[in-house]
Amino acid sequence: MLDQEHAAGPRTPGTATRGETVPTVPPAATPARRPAADVTALLERGRTLATPVLRAAVDRLAPPMDTVAAYHFGWIDAAGNPADGDGGKAVRPALAVLSAEVTGAAPEVGVPGAVAVELVHNFSLLHDDLMDGDEQRRHRDTVWKVHGPAQAILVGDALFALANEVLLELGTVEAGRATRRLTAASRALIDGQAQDISYEHRERVSVEECLEMEGNKTGALLACASSIGAVLGGADDATADALERYGYHLGLAFQAVDDLLGIWGDPVATGKQTWSDLRQRKKSLPVVAALAAGGPASEQLGEILTADAKSSDFANFSEEEFAARAALIEQAGGREWTAEEARRQHTVAVEALDTVDMPDPVRESFTALADFVVVRKR
Amino acid sequence: MLDQEHAAGPRTPGTATRGETVPTVPPAATPARRPAADVTALLERGRTLATPVLRAAVDRLAPPMDTVAAYHFGWIDAAGNPADGDGGKAVRPALAVLSAEVTGAAPEVGVPGAVAVELVHNFSLLHDDLMDGDEQRRHRDTVWKVHGPAQAILVGDALFALANEVLLELGTVEAGRATRRLTAASRALIDGQAQDISYEHRERVSVEECLEMEGNKTGALLACASSIGAVLGGADDATADALERYGYHLGLAFQAVDDLLGIWGDPVATGKQTWSDLRQRKKSLPVVAALAAGGPASEQLGEILTADAKSSDFANFSEEEFAARAALIEQAGGREWTAEEARRQHTVAVEALDTVDMPDPVRESFTALADFVVVRKR
């Protein structure tokens, strides 16, 4: 799939229409240089290793929290029947088990790290969906919609505690170090959500503020995922720090692509509405970059968004009205800048690997996962 | 103050009127046997050692979370002006620094543990107040009332993460063990809140279920507070486990007294409304014990509470109507049983200390704190 994407060659940013759905961002390095690590197999390996341990951890929760969590993870439906839910892309577990191999350890050594990171990620989803009032996630009603706000708070708390438990019960010095890094990532995640909430009430957000917020909300936990297996495998701090840098910038690339998909993504692939981020008035990278760019389209966009913020009729806007805003963002250069930013962050991420000594196949797998993140469609 | 209480001698349960305010529960052992450790000084020492470190930790939070947390702790008012809020009884910090002395370490060794426990306690208060819809705490509007639900969730999350951070940044094996115990206590706390919520929707809760819930909500964190300093001081697991047993049963005694104060406490002392727990239809120990007792008063109480649960006029009930319910609880033996339960748990708590080798003044201080918990008025 990756090869197909690459064979199509780089597209000119700004020329795709929404129907085309893919803001493809070809990685800065040419695919020809890349050995072909199998991303599908890497994602599948992470999922296969982590899911049974994750389910066993969630099973430890007292009723009804176990049921609510199982619903959130897509393992059961709202009526309690088994379901085969969309568990997401599973990039984090893939990175966590891969990072164990940096130290020469078996991928299994990274599994408690993969599970802990997934638990923290899902704790933040449960709480953020409630704080943001989001009613849908992964094509399904969110937990607070189905089980009420109290359960969303409570089960989020429980998953957060469980994340530390899963690591600390290993009882090793390495587990203590891993928990400390996970705690730092969790704090960043919370900081990012605080910034996200405060930016909602502001008319203008700078590109730097947006990147800082996305680094906290997405970069920090991908950084932790990319290093936690190595930490559990006994890697030194310099190695763990370099892997964190890879993951942090990968996270920023990931989020830039997410911001493109949030406006120009295919609803069938993303599971979100058309123009999803515009409907939510989200100050995502393409928007803030367009507003910062200056020029006629940028100024016109600024005026329109200021009026939108005060409009009582916003909820009833038509497809065409959102399409017009997306076109202005594109004209002002917000789409191209964001695609370029994804490439920049991708490059920095892959370069961070250079300082780390690791087996070639592991390096190729990290690189392939980075490539995947920037060409994905959902 | 303790001596005065004791000098008054045990009261006959069931004879006090509400105006008298104190469901005094004299400890099972006679005060004459006790060496006089100064509880006021112990509480003050815990507060003095822990508060600056707690404030420094909270100061690390990104705005506006630092301000919201400072409001919650009573350090500033809703307008942001410095305040000298009611920081609570500070039993937990006193226990944490005292427990460090079990190992011969300085009380200061327990400080990160005291701070971590306070952070977890306050994380749970922030979230529980929101889940329960409680509008007042410590004579002030709760965080979700003043700063909104999102900030209550977010700052609760941040305090929870900060608790682990404060411990893990010590970077020692002992800190890892302490964090593991704190995580177990946090999980119990969350389990207890889940039980509390589910019991609200049930007509009947057994005494055993109520005790299990209270053990989770109150016992587990007092258990952690009573052992965490010792763990940080290098105590072995058997010592830590025994100190946890002391704290767990002390927590159950504490909660039994709390349940008495929740019905018969003096509003001026407790900062709660008259008949507070009855107004909230709380299935606290005196209520469940009265319902389980059988006999005419018990049956009459059961009928009345069943009708109350369906009453649309409950919010407008008069003082006299609540007083009549309290009198029935007392007639059915719920008040006496709960006072007796506080004494039983106090005895088990103090006995748990017998298996631990510690300096005599430390043992005397633990005992004095246990006595304080059962004779307090707020």
* SS3 readout for chain B: CHHHHHHCCCCCCCCCCHHHCCCCCCCCCCHHHCCCCCHHHHHHHHHHHHHHHHHHHHHCCCCCHHHHHHHHCCCECCCCCECCCCCCCCHHHHHHHHHHHHHCCCHHHHHHHHHHHHHHHHHHHHHHHHHHCCCEECCEECHHHHHCHHHHHHHHHHHHHHHHHHHHCCCCHHHHHHHHHHHHHHHHHHHHHHHHHHHHCCCCCCHHHHHHHHHHHHHHHHHHHHHHHHHHCCCCHHHHHHHHHHHHHHHHHHHHHHHHHHHHCCHHHHCCCCCHHHHCCCCCHHHHHHHHHCCHHHHHHHHHHHHHHHCCCHHHCCHHHHHHHHHHHHHCCHHHHHHHHHHHHHHHHHHHHHHCCCCHHHHHHHHHHHHHHHHCCC
Range in B3-12, B54-63, B338-347 with the lowest mean pLDDT:
B3-12
Roughly how many angstroms between the first and final C-alpha of chain A, as a whole number?
14
Q: Note the pLDDT of residue B267.
A: 86
Q: Check residue A109 and report its DSSP letter.
A: G
Q: How confident is the model at residue B13 (pLDDT cuts 50, 70, 90)?
A: very low
Give mean pLDDT, residues B27-49: 76
For tokens 């890349």, what's the residue? A34
Statement: residue A3 has pLDDT above 70: no
Cα–Cα nearest to B294, from B242, B251, B331, B248: B331
What is the pLDDT, as a whole number, of residue B19? 39
Beta carbons of A160 and B165 less than 8 Å apart: no
pLDDT of A28 strictly over 60: no
The more confidently predicted of residues A167 and A19 is: A167
Which of A62, A149, A183 is opposite residue B168, by nearest beta carbon? A183
How far apart (Å, rounded) are the C-alpha atoms in residues A302 and A292?
A: 9
Residues paired with residue B141 on neighbouring β-strands, in sequence order: B136
- Tokens at residue B79, please? 């307008």
Interface of A with B (CB under 8 A): 62, 64-65, 123, 127, 130-131, 149-150, 153-154, 156-158, 160-162, 164-165, 168-169, 171, 173, 175-176, 179-180, 183-184, 186-187, 190-191, 193-195, 197-198
Distances in whole angstroms, Cα of residue A106 to Cα of each of A175, A229, A232: 16, 10, 11
Q: State both tokens at B204.
A: 């009947």
Whether residues B184 and A165 touch (CB distance < 8 A) is answered with yes
- Is A19 a residue whose pLDDT tops 90? no
Indicate yes or no: CB of A194 within 8 angstroms of CB of B160: no
Q: pTM of the predicted model, to two decimals?
A: 0.90
CB B218 within 8 A of CB B259: no
Please tell me which residue, B218 or A137, carries the higher pLDDT value: B218
State the residue for tokens 């506006």: B64
| A82 bridge partner residues | A76
Q: How far apart are CA B335 and CA A123, in angstroms?
A: 41
> Which has the minimum average pLDDT: A200-214, B50-64, B84-98?
B84-98
Please choose, from the candidates A296, A295, A305, the residue with its C-alpha nearest in 3D space to the C-alpha of residue A326: A305
Instruction: State the pLDDT at residue B87.
Output: 67
- Banded model confidence at residue A234, pLDDT cuts 50, 70, 90: very high
pLDDT grade for B84, boundaries at 50, 70 and 90: confident
Mean pLDDT on B69-77:
96
Consecutive H or E run containing A7: helix A2-7
Higher pLDDT, A360 or A136: A360
Out of A189-198, A308-317, B25-34, B35-44, the most confident range is: A189-198
Min distance A364 CA to chain B CA atoms (Å): 34
Among chain B, residues having any CB pair with chain A shorter than 8 Å are 62, 64-65, 123, 127, 130-131, 149-150, 153-154, 156-158, 160-162, 164-165, 168-169, 171, 173, 175-176, 179-180, 183-184, 186-187, 190-191, 193-195, 197-198
Residues 6+ apart with CB under 8 A from A190: A124, B65, B154, B157, B158, B161
The percent of residues above 90 in pLDDT, for chain B, comes to 79
Residues B151-189: b if buried by 16+ CB within 10 A, e if exposed: bbbbbbbbbbbbbbbbbbebeeebbbbbbbbbbbbbbbb
| Six-digit token string for A191 | 């900081």
Residue A35: band (very low, low, confident or very high) from pLDDT cuts 50, 70, 90:
low
Alpha-carbon span B192 to A357, nearest angstrom: 47
Average pLDDT in the A235-243 region? 98
pLDDT in tens, B332-370: 999 999 999 999 999 999 999 999 999 999 999 999 999
pLDDT band at B200 (very low <50, low <70, confident <90, very high): confident
| Model confidence pLDDT, tens digit, residues B14-31 | 333 333 444 455 555 444
Handedness of CA B57, B62, B67, B73 (dihedral sign): negative
Kindly report which listed range (A40-44, A278-282, B164-168, B229-233) carries the lowest average pLDDT score. Answer: A278-282
CA distance B205 to chain A (A): 16
Kindly report, residue by residue over A312-349, the tens digit of the pLDDT: 899 889 999 999 999 999 999 999 999 999 999 999 99
Residue B271: pLDDT band by 50, 70, 90 thresholds?
confident
What's CA B25's distance to the chain center, in Å?
A: 16
A–B interface: beta-carbon pairs under 8 A: 109
- Give CA separation, A280 vs A130, A274, A306, A311, in Å: 15, 11, 14, 13
Cβ–Cβ below 8 Å for A168 and B180: yes
Cα–Cα distance measured from residue A361 to residue A363, given in angstroms and rounded to the nearest whole number: 5
Q: Are B267 and B274 within 8 A, CB to CB?
A: yes
CA A198 from chain centre, in angstroms, equals 20
Residue-level pLDDT at A139: 83
- Which pLDDT score, from 0 to 100, does residue A203 have? 87
Chain B closest CA to A182's CA: distance in Å?
A: 10
The confidence score (pLDDT) of residue B6 equals 35
Residue from the list B64, B131, B161 with its beta carbon closest to the beta carbon of A190: B161
Q: Which residues of B touch A173 (CB under 8 A)?
A: 173, 176
- pLDDT tens, position by position, B277-332: 999 889 999 999 999 999 999 999 999 999 999 998 998 899 999 999 999 999 99
pLDDT digits (tens, 9 = 90+) for A114-140: 999 999 999 999 999 999 999 988 889
pLDDT value for A268: 85
Q: Which residues pair with B140 in a beta bridge?
A: B137
Per residue in B235-265, pLDDT tens?
999 999 999 999 999 999 999 999 999 999 9
Q: Which residue of A has its CA nearest to B156?
A: A157
Per-position b or e across A58-84, b if 16+ CB within 10 A of its CB: beebbebbbbbbbbbbbbbeeeeeebe
Helices A334-352 & A237-264 angle (0-180, nearest 10): 160
Chain B positions touching A192 (Cβ under 8 A) are none
CB atoms A154 and B130 under 8 Å? no
